[in-house]
């Protein structure tokens, strides 16, 4: 069976016949009810939702969470440290609650689409015009449209009287589309070019029309987008992938080392089997960074607070870090890179082309005609309502001190010839004080020139010749090549009005006044933002439903492509001709995508992701929502963005400012850098603990008790690690290349630093223990070993606090970074140090923690080890920097 043609490709009669309806009478009430029962309501379906309990339990499938639960069980039931077990469980539950909250917010995208449905529609039912809820519309219903209406379903237009529809939320095109009823020729015509169709949730801005419902609910273009949102797979962030990989790696290493220590201890026979089991458990607890998920969450939360102060509202915590690894920013054009407001940019009059900012005299006929031949409504508060093209002309007149209200009062409109899409002209007629009439005509320059016989230059009127016409057409073409929307203006005077006011009697023998070139201009700060992004190694792309020439011109003006670089521009139709494999190979050739549909945007994002790139997608329309959800980070617009696009986003720009993205990227890079510092600190400290216990076991020394390890982990891990999360941004961070998807927490020298610094911590601790038993202050063996364990415990805790200063930068000197720039860090170190000292210095805690009082020499030895940690690391960093320079 041959495939049916699309509705836009068939005639009105063919559409009515296929849909089994009648334009004049519409469907009967009984037939409408039958179709409603068969096809369901005109509403968007929602994906199957999980219960609150299911979402909560899903959070415990994460490997690191399982590790934490095991650590809690060990701490409670075996080590009998119930306080620590409860802290770990609290961390797990808090993370699960965050996850449920984030997942619930993500589902708001579909809910927002549902809310966009229009409440009522005007239809013909049984020969009568009735108003019904739009949810009751069925295929075949005849719908009446007029200015101000929201289209209730996808319609094949049957009548169009100057009908214009604003479809930017679907297509990304800022200019309302002029509608007509003739069938279109061609295959796979894009949404923005289907001029005989009206789409659900688009807005009628001008004229009136009649259409037959061709699709409802999930079969509409908006429905297709909702379907893509339901089917979209949640992307995993580089942060979550890194944490998952880190958790698995650490767990395997911990189990191997703990089993080895247990086996060696049992083989040596120095301790009983239960004692060695507790030792192995202590080692495992020492190695597991149980506070890591909570610390990462806190660092991310602090990052979101900073971003919120700079107009970036983060909806999902991992998005903060993902920003820092972004390599591609695929941006919508309209309203994101541009102002989403048509603006006069060029004016041509008196035979010369001028920049709009040069100004036009209020008496100039061009300024007068563009304001008179205009249906813009001026509200009392100064707001302009109407077609964006017409409001741009009036807004320009206001900048030139043209008082339209006063002028219309002196020369009121008395008649008009409305705009018609065939002749592409509009004329208004005004009564002049001297009794004559002024005809003000504007429209397409080529059509206007067919009706002009004279030319106004410098206040005088001349006969127009072929050379004049050629010059005007050349200027028109020049502006069009700059992606400007060009309108021509002409006029004439009448002594009396003809009996019949129409195009034939009014729009003849006109005097040409000039041309106006308009565009939706780029945001003033966008060019710098693009340059900053490029300097940071990020590639910006434009993905828009607008015309190729407009997209290419804006991209050239912003510096995304070189002006005139056609090879970097591709349309949705051209993209359809490439297979996924072919497009994936060619994707790095293109920086501008024009006339694209929603599925194209998702395809572009996916192609870059298959190339291993981390992709950020910005957008504000319904058409952007699937790509926002598919991208590694979706960035919605807070002011102009639809609720759908904001609901599908990971982050929302409160000021719709593209440059805010660059600020957010810098914050994201800082957050990752600070998470790296926290991980370097935690893992090197844990490695030092593991090495200390391992070597004590191998050497047959007395072992640190589980309570020692747990307290050190509790007081020295959490506060300094969180404080490292608010370290200031290191210089030059935006001159580095993006980390990308393949990077991890151990890149940039962090992995090596963790290993050698962890070994150094362990060796210094063991060295202090050795000094304590070699040069004791007591004589009994029990007292000597008690002092040695106390000194080892104090050293292992304090050395980690000293090492926290080293971790302020992986490579830079502490003297460059600054000891005390971060006040939060200073207080965290002080608090941790006090909590550690309390267990040794405050009477009553000694017995609880199995420690003794230390004298001045012993404390000097402990503090000396801490200072040595800073000195040795500084020397190594110095050598590394100079070797790198060499």
Q: Please provide the average confidence, as pLDDT, over all residues in the chain.
A: 83
Determine phi and psi for 127, rounding to 5 degrees. 85, 0
Q: Which of 135-139, 331-335, 715-719 has the highest mean pLDDT?
A: 135-139
What SS3 state is found at 639? Answer: coil
Do residues 689 and 780 both lie within one domain? Answer: yes
> Vertex 627, ends 626 and 631: CA angle to 5°?
125
Burial of 27 (0-12, 13-18, 19+ CB in 10 A): buried
Task: Give yes or no for residue 116 having a pLDDT over 50.
Answer: no
Give the single-character DSSP code of 589: G
**Confidence label for 105 from pLDDT (cuts 50, 70 and 90):** very low
pLDDT digit string, tens, across residues 425-473 = 999 999 999 999 999 999 999 999 999 999 999 889 999 999 999 999 9
332 belongs to the catalytic site: yes
Short-list 90, 245, 286, 92, CA closest to 683: 286
Tell me the C-alpha distance between 139 and 129, whole Å: 17
- The reply to whether 151 falls in a domain is yes
What pLDDT is recorded for position 67?
56
**Confidence label for 95 from pLDDT (cuts 50, 70 and 90):** low
Do residues 587 and 690 both lie within one domain? Answer: no
Judge contact between 803 and 684, C-beta under 8 A.
Answer: yes
What pLDDT is recorded for position 294?
65
What pLDDT is recorded for position 653?
82
Indicate the residue among 617, 643, 662 that finishes a domain. Answer: 662
**Confidence label for 514 from pLDDT (cuts 50, 70 and 90):** very high
- The reply to whether 533 falls in a domain is yes
What pLDDT is recorded for position 739?
80
pLDDT digit string, tens, across residues 233-255 = 555 556 666 666 776 777 777 77
What pLDDT is recorded for position 1?
42
Burial of 131 (0-12, 13-18, 19+ CB in 10 A): exposed
Do residues 31 and 66 both lie within one domain? Answer: no
Tell me the C-alpha distance between 536 and 533, whole Å: 5
Do residues 627 and 740 both lie within one domain? Answer: no
Judge contact between 862 and 771, C-beta under 8 A.
Answer: no
Short-list 106, 87, 96, CA closest to 64: 96
Do residues 566 and 626 both lie within one domain? Answer: yes
Task: Give yes or no for residue 517 having a pLDDT over 90.
Answer: yes
What pLDDT is recorded for position 645?
73
Task: Give yes or no for residue 744 having a pLDDT over 60.
Answer: yes
Task: Give yes or no for residue 687 having a pLDDT over 90.
Answer: no
Burial of 625 (0-12, 13-18, 19+ CB in 10 A): buried
Do residues 353 and 406 both lie within one domain? Answer: yes
Specify the CATH number for the domain of residue 764.
1.20.1110.10
Do residues 792 and 874 both lie within one domain? Answer: yes
- Could you write out the DSSP letters of every residue in 283-298? HHHHHS-TTHHHHHHH
- The reply to whether 317 falls in a domain is no
**Confidence label for 115 from pLDDT (cuts 50, 70 and 90):** very low
Q: Which of 276-290, 823-837, 847-861 has the highest mean pLDDT?
A: 823-837
Do residues 579 and 707 both lie within one domain? Answer: no
Task: Give yes or no for residue 46 having a pLDDT over 80.
Answer: no
Specify the CATH number for the domain of residue 480.
3.40.1110.10
What pLDDT is recorded for position 106?
39
Q: Which of 70-84, 477-491, 591-605, 697-711 has the highest mean pLDDT?
A: 477-491
Task: Give yes or no for residue 641 having a pLDDT over 60.
Answer: yes
What pLDDT is recorded for position 659?
80
20 Cβ contact partners less than 8 Å away, ≥ 6 residues apart: 140
The residue-averaged pLDDT of 323-335 equals: 85
- Cα Rg, the chain, nearest whole Å: 36
pTM score above 0.75: no
Give the single-character DSSP code of 715: I
What pLDDT is recorded for position 816?
83
The residue-averaged pLDDT of 778-801 equals: 89
**Confidence label for 112 from pLDDT (cuts 50, 70 and 90):** very low
Specify the CATH number for the domain of residue 164.
2.70.150.10
Do residues 485 and 553 both lie within one domain? Answer: no
Q: In this prediction, what percent of the chain has a pLDDT beyond 90?
A: 37
What pLDDT is recorded for position 735?
83
Short-list 862, 756, 731, 867, CA closest to 805: 867
CB count in 10 Å sphere of residue 46:
14
Higher-pLDDT residue of 439 and 628 is: 439
Alpha-carbon torsion, ordered 833, 835, 836, 839, to 10 deg: 150
- Could you write out the DSSP letters of every residue in 789-829? HHHHHHHHHHHHHHHHHHTT-SSS-HHHH-SSS-HHHHHHH
Give the residue numbers spanning the domain of 60: 52-106
- The reply to whether 1 falls in a domain is no
Higher-pLDDT residue of 526 and 748 is: 526
Higher-pLDDT residue of 778 and 461 is: 461
- The reply to whether 316 falls in a domain is no
Tell me the C-alpha distance between 552 and 561, whole Å: 8
688 Cβ contact partners less than 8 Å away, ≥ 6 residues apart: 758, 759, 760, 761, 762, 765, 796, 799, 800
What pLDDT is recorded for position 349?
94
Do residues 358 and 467 both lie within one domain? Answer: yes
| Strand positions, DSSP E, 759-798 | none
The residue-averaged pLDDT of 776-796 equals: 87
What pLDDT is recorded for position 248?
72
What pLDDT is recorded for position 231?
58
Query: How many domains, in total, are found in the chain?
Result: 5
Beta partners for residue 121, in sequence order = 132
Q: How would you write 65-122 as a 3-class SS string?
A: HHHHHHHHHHHHHHCCCHHHHHHHHHHHHHHHHHHHHHHHHHCHHHHHHHHCCCCEEE
Judge contact between 177 and 163, C-beta under 8 A.
Answer: no
* Lowest mean pLDDT across 123-132, 144-153, 221-230, 813-822: 221-230
Specify the CATH number for the domain of residue 565.
3.40.50.1000
Strands 197-198 and 120-125: unpaired
Tell me the C-alpha distance between 409 and 29, whole Å: 50
- The reply to whether 2 falls in a domain is no
**Confidence label for 345 from pLDDT (cuts 50, 70 and 90):** very high
| Strand positions, DSSP E, 299-355 | 312-314, 328-331, 343-349, 352-355
Give the single-character DSSP code of 27: B
Burial 541-572 (b: 16+ CB within 10 A, else e): bbbbbbbbebbbbbbbbbbbbeeeeeebbbbb
Task: Give yes or no for residue 279 having a pLDDT over 80.
Answer: no
Identify the active-site residue in 149, 332, 387, 468: 332
Tell me the C-alpha distance between 440 and 426, whole Å: 8
* Lowest mean pLDDT across 544-548, 569-573, 674-678: 544-548
- The reply to whether 867 falls in a domain is yes
* Lowest mean pLDDT across 92-96, 118-122, 263-267, 683-687: 92-96
* Lowest mean pLDDT across 227-231, 372-376, 467-471, 543-547: 227-231
Tell me the C-alpha distance between 546 and 746, whole Å: 43
- The reply to whether 328 falls in a domain is yes
Indicate the residue among 662, 677, 697 that finishes a domain. Answer: 662
What pLDDT is recorded for position 109?
39
pLDDT digit string, tens, across residues 518-569 = 998 888 888 888 998 999 999 999 988 788 888 888 899 999 998 878 889 9
Do residues 351 and 468 both lie within one domain? Answer: yes
Do residues 725 and 835 both lie within one domain? Answer: yes
**Confidence label for 113 from pLDDT (cuts 50, 70 and 90):** very low
The residue-averaged pLDDT of 867-884 equals: 91
Judge contact between 516 and 330, C-beta under 8 A.
Answer: no
33 Cβ contact partners less than 8 Å away, ≥ 6 residues apart: none
Indicate the residue among 644, 662, 680 that finishes a domain. Answer: 662
């Amino acid at each position: 069976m041959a495939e049916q043609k699309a509705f836009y490709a068939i005639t009105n009669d063919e559409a009515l016949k296929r849909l089994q309806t009648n334009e004049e009478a519409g469907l009967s009430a009984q037939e409408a009810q039958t179709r409603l029962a068969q096809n369901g309501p005109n509403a968007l379906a929602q994906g199957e939702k999980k219960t609150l309990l299911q979402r909560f339990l899903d959070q415990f499938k994460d490997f690191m969470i399982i590790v934490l639960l095991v650590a809690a069980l060990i701490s409670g039931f075996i080590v009998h440290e119930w306080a620590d077990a409860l802290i770990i469980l609290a961390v797990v539950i808090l993370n699960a609650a965050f996850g449920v909250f984030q997942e619930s917010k993500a589902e708001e995208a579909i809910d927002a689409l549902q809310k966009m449905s229009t409440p009522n529609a005007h239809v013909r039912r049984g020969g009568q015009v009735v108003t019904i809820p739009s949810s009751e519309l069925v295929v075949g219903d005849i719908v009446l449209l007029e200015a101000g209406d929201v289209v209730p379903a996808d319609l094949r237009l049957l009548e169009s009287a100057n009908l214009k529809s604003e479809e930017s939320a679907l297509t990304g095109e800022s200019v309302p589309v002029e509608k007509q009823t003739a069938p279109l020729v061609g295959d796979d015509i894009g949404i923005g070019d289907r001029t005989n169709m009206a789409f659900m949730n688009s807005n009628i801005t001008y004229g009136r029309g009649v259409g037959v419902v061709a699709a409802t609910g999930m079969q509409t273009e908006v429905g297709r987008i909702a379907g893509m949102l339901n089917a979209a797979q949640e992307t995993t962030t580089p942060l979550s992938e890194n944490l998952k990989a880190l958790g698995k790696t650490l767990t395997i290493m911990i189990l191997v080392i703990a089993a080895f220590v247990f086996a060696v201890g049992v083989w040596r026979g120095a301790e009983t089997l239960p004692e060695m089991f507790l030792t192995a458990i202590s080692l495992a607890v020492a190695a597991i960074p149980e506070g890591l998920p909570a610390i990462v969450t806190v660092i991310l939360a602090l990052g979101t607070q900073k971003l919120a102060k700079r107009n970036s509202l983060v909806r999902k915590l991992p998005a903060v870090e993902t920003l820092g690894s972004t390599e591609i920013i695929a941006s919508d054009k309209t309203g994101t890179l541009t102002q989403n407001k048509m603006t006069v940019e060029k004016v041509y009059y008196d035979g010369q082309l001028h920049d709009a900012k040069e100004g036009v005299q209020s008496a100039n006929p061009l300024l007068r005609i563009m304001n008179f031949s205009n249906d813009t409504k001026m509200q009392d508060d100064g707001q302009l309502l109407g077609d964006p093209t017409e409001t741009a002309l009036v807004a320009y007149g206001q900048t030139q001190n043209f008082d339209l209200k006063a002028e219309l009062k002196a020369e009121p409109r008395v008649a008009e010839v409305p705009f018609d899409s065939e002749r592409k002209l509009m004329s208004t007629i005004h009564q002049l004080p001297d009794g004559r009439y002024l005809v003000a005509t504007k429209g397409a320059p080529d059509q206007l020139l067919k009706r002009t016989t004279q030319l106004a230059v410098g206040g005088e009127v001349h006969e127009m010749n072929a050379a004049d016409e050629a010059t005007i057409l050349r200027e028109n073409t020049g502006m069009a090549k700059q992606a400007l929307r060009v309108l021509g203006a002409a006029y004439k005077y009448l002594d009396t009005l003809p009996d019949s006011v129409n195009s034939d009697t009014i729009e003849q023998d006109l005097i040409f006044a000039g041309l106006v070139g308009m565009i939706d201009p780029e945001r003033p700060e966008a060019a710098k933002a693009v340059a900053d992004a490029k300097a940071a190694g990020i590639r910006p792309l434009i993905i828009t439903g607008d015309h190729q020439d407009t997209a290419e011109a804006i991209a050239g003006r912003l510096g995304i492509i070189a002006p005139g670089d056609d090879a970097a521009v591709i349309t949705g139709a051209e993209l359809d001709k490439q297979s996924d494999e072919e497009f994936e190979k060619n994707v790095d050739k293109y920086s501008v995508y024009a006339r694209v549909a929603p599925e194209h945007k998702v395809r572009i994002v996916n192609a870059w992701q298959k190339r291993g790139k981390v992709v950020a997608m910005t957008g504000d329309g319904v058409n952007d929502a699937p790509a926002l959800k598919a991208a590694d980070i979706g960035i919605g617009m807070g002011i102009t963005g639809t609720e759908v696009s904001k609901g599908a986003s990971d982050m929302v720009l409160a000021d719709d400012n593209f440059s805010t993205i660059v600020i957010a990227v810098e914050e994201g890079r800082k957050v990752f850098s600070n998470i790296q510092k926290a991980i370097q600190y935690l893992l090197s400290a844990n490695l030092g603990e593991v090495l200390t216990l391992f070597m004590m076991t191998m050497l047959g020394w007395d072992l640190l008790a589980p309570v020692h390890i747990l307290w050190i982990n509790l007081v020295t891990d959490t506060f300094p690690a969180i404080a490292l999360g608010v370290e200031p941004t290191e210089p030059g961070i935006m001159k580095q290349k993006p980390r990308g998807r393949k990077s991890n927490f151990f890149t940039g020298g962090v992995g090596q630093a963790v290993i050698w610094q962890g070994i150094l911590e362990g060796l210094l601790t063991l060295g202090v223990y050795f000094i304590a038993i070699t040069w004791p202050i007591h004589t009994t063996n029990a007292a000597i070993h008690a002092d040695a364990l106390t000194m080892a415990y104090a050293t292992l805790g304090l050395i980690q606090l000293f090492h926290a200063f080293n971790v302020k930068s992986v490579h830079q000197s502490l003297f460059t970074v600054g000891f005390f720039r971060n006040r939060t860090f200073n207080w965290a170190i002080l608090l941790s140090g006090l909590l550690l000292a309390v267990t040794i210095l405050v009477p009553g805690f000694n017995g609880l923690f199995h420690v003794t009082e230390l004298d001045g020499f012993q404390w000097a030895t402990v503090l000396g080890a801490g200072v040595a940690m800073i000195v040795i690391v500084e020397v190594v960093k110095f050598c590394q920097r100079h070797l790198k320079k060499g």
